[in-house]
Structure 1
Amino acid sequence: MENGSLDYWLHEKPDGPSSLDWDTRLHIAQGAARGLSYLHQSCEPHILHRDIKSSNILLDENFEAHLADFGLARLILPYDTHVTTDLVGTLGYIPPEYGQASVATDKGDVYSFGVVLLELLTGKRPMDICKPKGTRDLISWVLR
């Protein structure tokens, strides 16, 4: 993709965050949301991505968002409500309930997408181990 990943623009490109005005950020968020909605509701069988994160949101020349990296994805067959699985994902994006049960649901993808939205709003990484305990992850920082 011509513009790389959302992660690149938010965290790697020196002038990246300042180049992403609010309209562009909203456009990216809406495009990624449409992609996730398609996976969860429109395609048959439904698909759990299981690794929604800013580096897996690729941007074309018009900053249209495209979900990528389906290496951890799982199919949800009709009448299934979840997939039993090993704990997978990227630190900072993994929903808290995944640590308690090895069950993946579409709610986990939505949680991870919420972390991406917080990244878009704050420009902060979801996890920063250099910060003091309790402020290392974006969710704790937001809750404080």
Structure 2
Amino acid sequence: MSVVTSSLSGDQTKKLLSLLGHVRLSLLYKASVHGYTAAAFHARCDWQGPTVVAAFNRAGFLYGAYISKDYTQNGQNVNDDKAFLYSITDRREKPLRVTSINGQYGFTDANTGPCFGDLVFLLNNTAAVQGYAGNSYNFNEEEMHGNDLRLTECEVYRVEGE
């Protein structure tokens, strides 16, 4: 059985950890290995506690979201005052961190890919993201993902040791 390895570079890991604090990341899901589907995502990520989505695109961005609550596929909007979106790119020295407009919205827990209101990953079970700002989070789309919503990889990590 082969080991699934992270696509995060050392610098990306360092910047991501600067947003999360003193924690460990444990890879749960890698779309290129497990499938670009909501079912594959939920099979590996439901009931795992705090997680961070790491999406990669050809424009050189690493972006995604952190949540402190479980995915459960309950079909409800989940308030999470610890949730945030982020973006890491060589174009900026420090990561971009965006909290929700109302300070509480976390994500929609449905049988779709990870859904954070303004960023929906694995859109229609493909390597794509639906992204627009202003519904739950305010951000500049160029700064968040370089206007590139096609994924080259999508990973989800359990955040341990909070």
TM-score by length of structure 2 reads: 0.33
Task: Give 1 or 2: higher strand fraction.
Answer: 2
Q: RCO higher in 1 or 2 (8 Å CA, sep ≥ 6)?
A: 2
Task: Give 1 or 2: higher helix fraction.
Answer: 1
**Which has the larger Rg?**
1
